[in-house]
Amino acid sequence: MRLASRCGYYIITSFSNTDYYKAQVVAEKSSGLLEYIPGSHSLLLQKKIEQPLEGFAQNIKESLVEYTESGKSDVEKGHNFLHWVLTRVFEATEDDASDAIIDGANDLGIDAYLPVDFSDNKIRLFQSKYGTAHSEEAIAKFKEDVKRLLTKDVTKMRPELANLVTKIQEKNLKIECCYVTSQQVNYDDESVEIIDIDKIVRSLWDRIKKPAAGKKSKIKLEKMIHYKNTVLGVLKLRELTDFVTKNRDFVFESNIRQWMQFKTNVNKGIRETLQNTPDKFFYYNNGITIVVSSFEELQENIMMLHAPQIVNGAQTSNSILDHAKRTNNLDGSITVTIIKADDELDQNNITKYRNSQNSVRGKDLVSLMDFHKSIKSQLENYGYFYEIQAGSFDSKTKSLQAEFKGDGIYNRYLPENHKKVIVAKDAIQVLIAGIEQRPTESYSSPAQFLPRGSKYDDVFNENLKDDYRLLLYPYLVKEFAKKSLGYGKRGGHKTKRYATLFFVAVYFRIIYKSILGTRGDFKEDIVKMEPIFKSNKLNERILKLADVVVTKFLEDTVVDDEMEIANTKHNFFSHHVWNEAMLRVVDKKIRQEEDEIESIKKLVNSLL
């Protein structure tokens, strides 16, 4: 931040943010040259990592437009736009955002201000322009309006404006001007922070990528030594519990694995050591690793950590925290490694290679992948928690868990007792079965499609758009099949209990090949699935049609013969059900339902 004087008052300009934004634009335009510079691969990769994914950006823009366009007039739409930005980008509460907006008659060019309680030593003044209302002249006028604001007679102002000006003068608040627009802006002015649509998307992307950015916390060590950009220290267990408690909202977000609640032998061992021999804990435990963007020593053995993330030791930290709730006896210490690594590639590598204890399974490594972070954000917009970190939902308070209510239309596919949690591993498995049309591989060895799996990159590569529907829709099909059609272990059918993923594959085969007429990659037509899934009655008709096809398939004598060869039903669905001979039977059964398919096809075409 840089302090600059403008017209007798102070304006805080986000100079570092502006410079960073300019640098990003330059980098984007010059990446072609970088490709030819020896040793530039890591820089190119870092630049690529920093860019918001396409699906995430599209989802944010669609959410913004949907919320804004719900207004009945241009004035109401402008109000909605600003309210969306204040709550999402600036994280104001719903009530604070409503109180902050003061646009209307005689607003003197100020649309909103934050914070509404004047608790900071600065105040942000907002001017917002939705749609085509934006212009460079509007930015210039906003600057002049702010200058004139402080010279006006408060007795002739609207009460809320008079209160605003009075507080600015009484508290000698520094003013930060924020011009917000839904358009793209190429405008440079140090006296105004321009928040255009690209910056809105980038701000929200950075928040899910770097949840600890801007956060800082003190930590007191018993002993410490410095080595290059690292501090090695000894930390009392009580100090660790205080640190975790204060920073729990963000401190574990980069951890490969959230707390597993004593589900593994390692966690059980931690608990037993804490209960029986806490003085031995220092010797038995590998310690924790905290990655920070920077650190500084305030006093002897007291550190200020900036953007701290516990990247290894979440289960240790949470086990100690749980034990602290049961007893006041927290004797013992633990080793801690604090590493300064502001570069995201370095942070990811530290996280990756420091996690060897409690064998990191594929589904836990999902948490390092940008694709899945984007999906998580998108699904939260629909009220679902996408669990990319094992145990992360269970570790939330009951009140936070209750906030995930799902979507009224999509919930109809789910059982009534569904927690609105979609586990990444399950969603990946059913994506592979349905949209990738690989149900045998997905059934027999789902781990190969998880991070570090031999086939993960076949699917999750740069060609895959981060669209939440790719994971949500197959998952809804699977859950409906178990809830309403008798599939899965609780369905009671001796064969269909093994056939859930096969059913999902058949459903998408009917949709894409027979109804939508998709040629090539099914993923390309995922957008066309939305009106189908939002029309529950129509989709239930398709789901029941798929069940008819599967039922007739399982009754076919050719299938019986193949099942005999397979020896067991498990082996049949693991290796045989999708071979060429079986697919011929599947397609034959689909053709037998031609009349119903044609009827459905007309309805689908009317929706599209």
Given a cut of 90, whether residue 281 has pLDDT beyond it is no
Note the pLDDT of residue 346. Answer: 66
Note the pLDDT of residue 218. Answer: 93
Given a cut of 80, whether residue 193 has pLDDT beyond it is yes
Note the pLDDT of residue 352. Answer: 63
Structure tokens at 222: 């018993």
List, for residues 49-70, the tens digit of each pLDDT value.
567 888 889 888 988 998 899 9
Note the pLDDT of residue 254. Answer: 60
Note the pLDDT of residue 8. Answer: 34
H-type alpha helices, 355-394:
362-365, 370-380
Q: Of the ranges 329-333, 367-371, 373-377, which is most confident?
A: 373-377
Q: Which carries the bigger pLDDT value, residue 533 or residue 449?
A: 533
Would you say 88 and 203 are in contact if contact means Cβ atoms under 8 Å apart?
no
Note the pLDDT of residue 395. Answer: 67
Given a cut of 80, whether residue 305 has pLDDT beyond it is yes
Helix (H, G, I), strand (E, B) or coil at 141: helix
Q: Of the ranges 233-242, 256-265, 383-392, 532-541, which is most confident?
A: 532-541
pTM exceeds 0.75 for this model: no
Q: What is the mean pLDDT of residues 389-410?
A: 85
Q: What are phi and psi of 299, to 5 degrees?
A: -140, -175
Given a cut of 90, whether residue 13 has pLDDT beyond it is no
Residue corresponding to tokens 């397609």: 587
List, for residues 426-442, the tens digit of each pLDDT value.
999 999 999 999 999 99
Between CA 168 and CA 123 the distance in angstroms is 8
Between CA 57 and CA 53 the distance in angstroms is 6
List, for residues 336-353, the tens digit of each pLDDT value.
999 998 766 666 666 666
Given a cut of 50, whether residue 12 has pLDDT beyond it is no
Note the pLDDT of residue 362. Answer: 45
Q: What is the mean pLDDT of residues 492-499?
A: 90
Would you say 296 and 349 are in contact if contact means Cβ atoms under 8 Å apart?
no
List, for residues 470-489, the tens digit of each pLDDT value.
999 999 999 999 999 999 88
Between CA 290 and CA 252 the distance in angstroms is 10
254, 293, 493, 551 from 487: Cα distances, Å: 37, 49, 7, 11
Given a cut of 60, whether residue 162 has pLDDT beyond it is yes
How far does the chain reach from its first CA to its final CA, in angstroms?
Answer: 50
Q: Which of 224, 222, 265, 255 lies closest to 240 in space, CA to CA?
A: 222
Q: Of the ranges 206-210, 280-284, 348-352, 540-544, which is most confident?
A: 540-544
Bin 100: left if φ > 0, else alpha if -120 < ψ < 50, else beta.
Answer: alpha
Given a cut of 50, whether residue 361 has pLDDT beyond it is no
Torsion over CA: 264, 268, 271, 273 (sign): negative
What is the Rg, in whole angstroms, of the alpha carbon atoms belonging to the chain?
Answer: 28
364, 366, 410 from 404: Cα distances, Å: 22, 21, 13
List, for residues 25-56, the tens digit of each pLDDT value.
444 444 444 444 444 444 444 445 567 888 88
